Amino acid sequence: MVSYNFPSQIHLLMITILVIITTLLTPITTNTSSLPWNILSNDNFAGKLTTASSSVESAATDFGHITKIFPSAVLNPSSVQDITDLIKLSFDSQSSFPLAARGHGHSHRGQAAAKDGVVVNMRSMVNRDRGIKVSRTGLYADVDSAWLWIEVLNKTLELGLTPVSWTDYLYLTVGGTLSNGGISGQTFRYGPQISNVLEMDVITGKGEIATCSKDMNSDLFYAALGGLGQFGIITRARIKLELAPKKAKWLRFLYTDFSEFTRDQERLISETNGPHFLEGSVMLDHGPPDNWRSTYYPPSEHMRIVSMVKQHRVIYCLEVVKYYDETSQHSVNEEMEELSDSLNYERGFVYEKDVTYMDFLNRVRTGELKLKSKGKWDVPHPWLNLFVPKSQISRFEYGVFKGIILRNNITTGPLLVYPMNRNKWNDRMSTVIPEEDVFYAVGFLRSASFDNWDDYEKENMELFPPEYDSTKSRFSAL
């Protein structure tokens, strides 16, 4: 067996960012004895705190479908006060109990779980008559953290405005992504979502509500952003906005040379007038032909692309987008032509679409609905997301994409690899990133069956040093 030894800085970075202690699938049990004797009879939680098996079961599971971690109860708050009351009760109790805020349940390995504690169902606070207040003059939106980003987008677009930094999938809560980082193809230009927050309300571990910003309670502000919920529960965020474009010119370029692929990406993210969005991905000859990302390509091109993938076994896709409206359409067309001419992709393998701004941002929804229709959405997702320094990305490509991944031949789902600029992040925030000026996000966004998901876990472990104890840890995809 060929082994690939990666530099210690990659190992340490992956471990720092991605490892979280969880448990494996277990039978459903509800242990209310771990809660204070008076919590279930507390009038403050009447009709809101439940131990019903259906609620507990739902709170024990997440999008990952890899772990089941059962709470003793679930709180369905109707207001922020309900959450503060619960936290104060835990803080003041002689035997405190675990608490976890759960948004839309898109975590992968029980990160929003509270074993024998209480899971707070944040979505129960969503009120359609309030929750998002948009300031056109201040160019910001005050958003309750339980709202989904797709809901924020719909509301701001009504006023011709939009947030600037996104995740690829929009059906995530504002509080959830801000507690992690919130990255996508806009990050190189605008920074992650946590770099585009002006102010927040946070409930601390003592049950106190604090308004914080870079100028007020700044330690809490920066700690909560990317803090995985360990410094408090975000209940409101003030998000930066800008004028919303109407359309998106969306191009994809195929490469067979990884060095050309990364060189072009790195040049584009350094240009002040470059694309608004940039992501790269890996296409493998044993990847599924119905991968959701392949719906972009014209059916008439599928055989050509498949042929090139089989010839090279691994090829790479560079995806760039430029936003525009009626007044800028002509200039954007010229800019994208110049951009295309400057790239070193395989000539004849460039593809272009013009779509609405909304359709581009919400592009993953199409794939979600397709997978749901086939029963392939609610399956195990042994995802792994890494940050890799620019200086190590070529070695990573050789050892992982062309080594471990090809050898094991079990890939199902997108593999992303795209660069971002460190100067768009803030070192005071909790999220850990490499020290180099440019680093890559590498995402293994794979789907498995309930019978074989552990094969992917074993493959994930191959990226870690041999001395790492895999029996005590699982990976977290941020």
Residue 129 bears catalytic tag: no
Active-site pick, 62, 65, 104, 106: 106
Percent of the chain with pLDDT over 90: 71
Spot the catalytic one: 201, 279, 457, 459.
279
Catalytic-labelled residue, pool 168, 266, 301, 359: 168
Pairing of strands 99-102, 118-121: parallel
What does pTM read for this prediction? 0.89
Stretch 126-152: mean pLDDT:
93
Tokens representing 31 are: 């242990």
pLDDT for the residue numbered 128: 72
Residue-level pLDDT at 33: 58
CATH class of the structural domain 31-125? alpha beta
9-58: pLDDT as tens digits: 443 343 333 333 233 333 334 455 567 767 877 878 888 999 999 999 99
- What is the 3 state secondary structure string of 338-363? HHHHHCCCCCCCEEEEEEEHHHHHCH
CB 28, CB 57: distance < 8 Å: yes
Q: What is the DSSP letter of 299?
A: G
pLDDT in tens, 193-212: 999 999 999 999 999 999 99
What is the average pLDDT score of the chain?
Answer: 88
Contact between 295 and 250 under an 8 Å Cβ cutoff? The reply is no
* Residue in 361, 459, 352 with CA at minimum distance from that of residue 405: 459
Domain 247-475 bears CATH identifier 3.40.50.10140: no
Residue 168: active-site member? yes
**279 flagged as catalytic:** yes
Identify the CATH assignment for 132-243 out of 3.20.20.110, 3.30.465.10, 3.30.470.10, 1.20.1740.10: 3.30.465.10
Domain range list for the chain: 31-125, 132-243, 247-475
Confidence at residue 39, expressed as pLDDT on a 0 to 100 scale: 81
Query: Is the confidence at residue 292, as pLDDT, over 50?
Result: no
